[in-house]
Amino acid sequence: MAYSGPFQAGDRVQLTDAKRRHFTIVLRPGEVFHTHRGQVAHDDLIGRDEGSVVRSSLGADYLAFRHLMVDHVLSMPRGAAVIYPKDLGQILIEGDIFPGARVLEAGAGSGALSIALLRAVGEHGRVFSVEVRDDHLAYAIDNVEQYFGTRPEWWEPKLADFGQLTRDGLGGPVDRVLLDMVEPWHFFDTVCDLLLPGGVIMVYVATVPQLMNTVEGLRETGHFSEPRAWESLVRGWRVEGLATRPEHRMNAHTAFLVQARRLADGVTPPQPQRPARR
């Protein structure tokens, strides 16, 4: 799929009608998209610029744009729940995912994070996506290949137990580790072995008990900086003159994010001073 320029065959295109309903098609010469308001010929879009309006056989207008990554993530088939865009952005920035990085993710899920990581590290980086369930891994592989049009050469999806991973098996240590699993605190010793000093670990957990166990588990290892924990909330607004107001629905709690840095071996960090309990 092209990312810009006139529409080409193979592009994933989102059509939006007057009621803001979205319809996704993959452009193929000679094919027709059938709607309750007539047919839209793919050939009417191929070769035209993004942001064009195409008219159906019954006179309905549809605004056409290529899928953005956010559109692909929210509409793609799922085995496990996807990591939502608001959290993907936090992971990429707070996790400092840089071009050329070697990144290990555990819990490939449906591939949303894999796609974001692969774009961020680029072809000179490496992304290892480890999943313990073969059905989830199959969804991740299908969704990544659909997005990129092929399997990126810098991606290694693996069906494996995270606790059995070694540096040799990954071709060396990694710069970043991202955990999206039910009980990540059981694998912090493995993370210590795989992660370079100064490397970042980020953990994605949904519930308060998981958050507590994750933070306390990182502290107990003695190999990480003081963990930081937060959640991100996103509320849309409807802007219509004097009727401007918040949307009735919002992307509220999806998960907690926890971030820490790998310490050098043998280092004992200064202990954080917490207020005395009354």
Cβ neighbours of 252 (radius 10 Å): 10
- Nearest C-alpha neighbor of 131 from the set 200, 79, 205: 79
199 is annotated as contributing to ligand binding: no
* Helix 85-94 and helix 112-121, axial crossing angle in degrees, nearest 10: 40
* Helix 134-148 and helix 112-121, axial crossing angle in degrees, nearest 10: 50
Burial of 213 (0-12, 13-18, 19+ CB in 10 A): middle
- Say how far apart CA 252 and CA 255 lie, in whole Å: 9
180 is annotated as contributing to ligand binding: yes
Q: Is the dihedral of CA 160, 166, 168, 172 positive or negative?
A: positive
For residue 20, give Cα distances in angstroms to 34, 61, 228. 17, 11, 39
52 is annotated as contributing to ligand binding: no
113 is annotated as contributing to ligand binding: yes
DSSP state of 132: S
In degrees, to the nearest 5, what angle opens at C-alpha 149 toward C-alphas 143 and 152? 80
216 is annotated as contributing to ligand binding: no
CB 105 within 8 A of CB 186: no
Helices (H) and strands (E) counted in the chain, each on its own, are 7, 15
193 is annotated as contributing to ligand binding: no
- Tell me if residue 148 falls in helix, strand or coil: helix
106 is annotated as contributing to ligand binding: no
217 is annotated as contributing to ligand binding: no
Cβ neighbours of 25 (radius 10 Å): 18
Binding site listing = 110-113, 131, 136, 161, 180
Binding site listing for S-adenosyl-L-methionine = 110-113, 131, 136, 161, 180
